[in-house]
Amino acid sequence: MGIPVGDEESVPSLGAPIINWSLILGNIAVFIVMSLYPSLLVPGANSPESVLSELGMVPAYVLSGEKLYTIFTSMFLHAGLAHLLGNMLFLYIFGDNIESAMGRVRYLLFYLVSGLGAIVFHIVSLTFIPRDALFNPGLAGLANPWLVPAVGASGAISGVLGSYILLFPTNRVRLFTWFFFPVIIELPAYVYLLFWFSFQLIMGYASTIAGVSTGVAFWAHIGGFITGMALTPLFVDKERLRRALLYQAYR
């Protein structure tokens, strides 16, 4: 459908989205350090891959009660520059509005708990992969997914998207796409996010029930989105949301 490049901004009077900016800068800083000085993150590490192996969330370890800290460290790790930039673009576009509606402390807690929900869904999804797919390179790939480190902020960011579709469904989202030539189009947020979520469901099915390796934790995206929707009524500040909606209606 296209790549999001902007939306209707949050309310200036509710304060700058400091937490959202901090999360973006934190993820970028971790990626730079991991790429250039991996031993600062993991003593003795000599490559980014070593950091991902040590601080990424390995489902088999977490399920056995080992390396539980990776539930949170994995949210700030990315496997490559494209992975990082894609996630930060989504967080930049959608996160400021949610911070405006929740406030800084609530938004930070919401973000982290959404990431936790994403991890739970990811681990549970692995139990549905057919046993023969786990050990068949032609189906599940060369690595057992129970032993593959899951990394990235996308699970937590999916929670932000789940909250956005509830709080700002009619906001206009600008998308960069192609119709024989590059063009910017606008769609209501609910249209774009429903399309995005439907795509995650289709690919999630393919990666588990059908036993097809994709290299992407689609069920973490699905879980983060659902968790974000479920948490939104608990974390939203109704007065801040009212002011945000009024600002966008009369700007």
186 phi, psi to nearest 5 deg: -120, 140
Beta carbons within 8 Å of 41's beta carbon, 6+ residues apart:
30, 33, 34, 51, 55
Q: What is the pLDDT of residue 139?
A: 45
Backbone region of residue 78 per phi and psi (left: phi > 0; alpha: psi in -120 to 50; beta: other values): beta
- For the four alpha carbons of 144, 148, 152 and 158, in that order, the dihedral sign comes to positive
Task: Give the pTM.
Answer: 0.92
- 50 residue type, one letter: S
Residue 188's alpha-carbon distances to 104, 136, 137, 156, in angstroms, are 26, 42, 41, 22
- CA separation for the pair 103, 82 (Å, rounded): 30
Work out how many domains the chain is built from and give that number: 1
Identify the H or E element spanning 166: helix 154-167
Three-state secondary structure of 188-228: EHHHHHHHHHHHHHHHHHHHCCCCCCCCCCHHHHHHHHHHH
Q: What is the CATH number of the domain that holds 15?
A: 1.20.1540.10
Is 60:145 a contact under the CB 8 Å cutoff?
A: no
Judge contact between 38 and 46, C-beta under 8 A.
yes
Burial of 249 (0-12, 13-18, 19+ CB in 10 A): exposed
What is the DSSP pairing of strand 3-6 with strand 182-188? Answer: unpaired
Of the candidates 218, 198, 222, 223, the one whose C-alpha atom is nearest the C-alpha of residue 208 is 218
- pLDDT per residue rounded down to tens, the chain (251 residues): 789 998 987 777 688 999 999 999 999 999 999 999 999 999 999 999 999 999 999 999 999 999 999 999 999 999 999 999 999 999 999 999 999 999 999 999 999 999 999 999 999 998 887 766 665 554 444 567 888 899 999 999 999 999 999 999 999 999 998 877 788 999 999 999 999 999 999 999 887 766 555 678 899 999 999 999 999 999 999 999 988 888 776 66
SS (H, E, C) 9-77: CCCHHHCCCHHHHHHHHHHHHHHHHHHHCHHHCCCCCCCHHHHHHHHCECHHHHHCCCCCCHHHHHHHC
Q: Assign 182 to helix, strand or coil.
A: strand
Phi, psi of 217 (to 5 degrees): -85, 75
Full domain range(s) for residue 91: 3-250
H helix or E strand, kind and range, residue 4: strand 3-6
